[in-house]
Amino acid sequence: MTGKVYLVGCGPGTPDLLTIRAVNVLESADVVLHDRLIDDHVLEHTKDEVEEIYVGKKAGESNKQEWINELLVSKAEEGNVVARLKNGNPVIFARGGEELQYLKEREIDVEIVPGLSAATSLAPLIGVPLTKRGVSSSLSILTGVGRGGSDPSWENVGDTGVVLMTVKNLSRVVEKLTESKMSKRTLSVLISSGSTSDERILVSQLDRIPELAEFVGIELPSILVAGEVVGELLDIKGRTFAAFRPFQRLDRTKELAMEAGGIPYVYGICKPKIPHNSNLKENISEDGDVIVFMSPTGVEVTENLIDFPEIKAIAVGNTTAKALREQGCEHITVPEKQSSDGVQQLLKENNWDALALRSAIADKSLEGALNVDAYIMEPVNVSKAINDYSNNEPDYTLLTSGGMIEILLTEAEKSGEKRNLIEKINESFVLSLGRKCSEFAESQGIRINYEFPQPSLESFFK
C-alpha cells in the first residue's frame, strides 16, 4: 500500500512557532526529510524509530532537487508516512510547489501543511506591522533572485515590500525598489536568522542598507522589509531609552528623549578636563585660517581661551555649530558630510591652515590639520552607572562615541563584568551616533542596530 507525503512548513526558525498540525505529522511520520535550516529541536517531535534523511542544498546544488523528488516517491511507495520539512511555508518561495506537482503526477498522496512564512512573520516578531492604517495599505512579497535567475516583477511594489533571499544582491534589490515607488530615504530593516538565537537586526534608509550590511557582516538567511512601517522600530514613545553621556550632556539628552515620548535612563560617566601638560593655549594663540571643533565639548573647554566672535570655525555637525553660535561665533562652516571625513574634505578643498581641537581619546588624527588634545574625558561614577544600567532592561541603548564605550568597557573589565555588559547592551536595540562609534562598538562585540545618518541627537529625536 502506498504511503503519504506531507510537505510541512516549520516556520521561520525557532521551533516554538511550529503549528500543532506540523507536530502531529512529525509524531506519526516514518520518514523525515529535512533541509539545512531546520532547528534540531523540531526533530524531537518524531518517534524513536523514525528514519531521518538530510536533504539540505547548498548554493549551486539545484540538481539535487531531482534526487529529493525521487526519494519522496520511493519512500512513499514503500508504504511510509513521509514528512518533508522546509523552513517557513513550503510553497512560498520554496520548492514545495514543484515537489507537489512531481508527487501528484506519480499518483502519490500528498498534503501541504502550511507554516509561518519568514515573509509575513519575522517583521511582526520584531515589532513591525506589515500594514497599518494611514501608513501602509498594500504589501508585496518578492524574491531577490527569481526562478532560473530571472527577475520578479518590481513594478508597482506595495507600500511595504518584503524581499527574501536578498543578501547576495542587496544593492540591486535596493535599486529595483527605488526605481519602483520607494525613495532612497525609505526606511528598511534587514532581519538575519530571524527568530533564532543568532538573529541580527539592521535598520537604515534604503540607500545606506547595502553598505551597512557589508560593514556589520549580515549573513544568510536574511530578508529585507522596506516601507514606512519600519519606522515603528525607531519610535521610542512609551519605551525606555538608555544613554551614557558626559555629565554636562545629561539634561539635554533627557530632554530630547522625553520630548520624543521616551522614558530616559541617562547615565553620566565622565567630565571633560584640559590635560595638565596641554599646549592648547599656545596653539590657539598662533595665527591660522580656521579652528576645527569636533564636538560641543571642544567649544566648552575653550570658552575662556578663545575670542569666539573673532575666529572662523569649522563645526563637525549642527550641534557643535549651535554651541559655537551660543559663544558668539559668527563665521561657522559645517561640512556637507557631518563627520571626520567631511571635515577633511573641506580642509582639502579650501587648503586652509587649520587647528583641530580633539579629545585625547579620539581614534585618529584629522588629516590636513594641526591636531591638539584639547581635553580628556575623566571617568566619574562609571561603576554605579553600569550597575544601574544592568539592573534595568532598556528598550534602546544609545552609544555616542568610541570613547564613551571604552570608558564603560574598561571599568567593566576591572570587575570581570565586561562580557556581561556587552550581552546586556545587545539585548536592547542599539543606536550609534556615527560610523566611528559603530566601528569601535562592533570591534568589541556590540551589535549596532541603527546608525544615525547624521551624527546629531536632534536629527533622531525630531
Residue in 39, 159, 165, 176 annotated catalytic: 165
User: Which cell goes with 217?
Assistant: 557582516
Q: Pick the closest to residue 462 from 240, 257, 163, 214 (CA basis).
A: 257
- Pairing type for strands 370-379 and 263-273 reads antiparallel
Strand order across the beta sheet in which 81-86 lies:
51-54, 31-34, 81-86, 4-9, 109-113
Q: In whole angstroms, give the CA distance from residue 349 to residue 314.
A: 13
Distance CA 125, CA 15 (A): 14
Distance CA 273, CA 35 (A): 59
Q: Provide the CB-side half-sphere exposure for 93 (13 A, CA).
A: 21
Of 96, 130, 93, 101, whose CA–CA distance to 113 is shortest? 96
Catalytic residue among 4, 30, 35, 294: 35
165 is known as an active-site residue: yes
* Single-letter amino acid, residue 23: V
The number of C-alpha atoms within 13 Å of 5 and in the hemisphere containing its C-beta is 29
Residues 6+ apart with CB under 8 A from 433: 398, 399, 400, 401, 452, 455, 457
In the chain, the amino acid numbered 424 is: K
How many angstroms separate the most distant Cα atoms in the chain?
97
Place of cell 588624527: 365
- Catalytic: 404? no
57 is catalytic: yes
Report strand pairing: 290-293 vs 354-359: parallel
Whole-angstrom distance, CA of residue 12 vs CA of residue 88: 5
Place of cell 542596530: 449
- How does 346-374 read in b/e, with b if 16+ C-beta sit within 10 Å? bbeeeebebbbbbbbbbeeebebbebbbb
HSE-CB of 316 using CA atoms within 13 angstroms: 21
Catalytic residue among 57, 312, 322, 337: 57
**CA atoms within 13 A of residue 431's CA, in its CB half-sphere:** 24
- The residues near 164 (Cβ < 8 Å, ≥ 6 apart) are 93, 118, 119, 141, 142, 143, 144, 223
Burial class (CB in 10 A: 0-12, 13-18, 19+), 197: exposed
HSE toward the beta carbon, residue 364, CA cutoff 13 A = 11
Q: Residues with catalytic annotation? A: 35, 57, 165
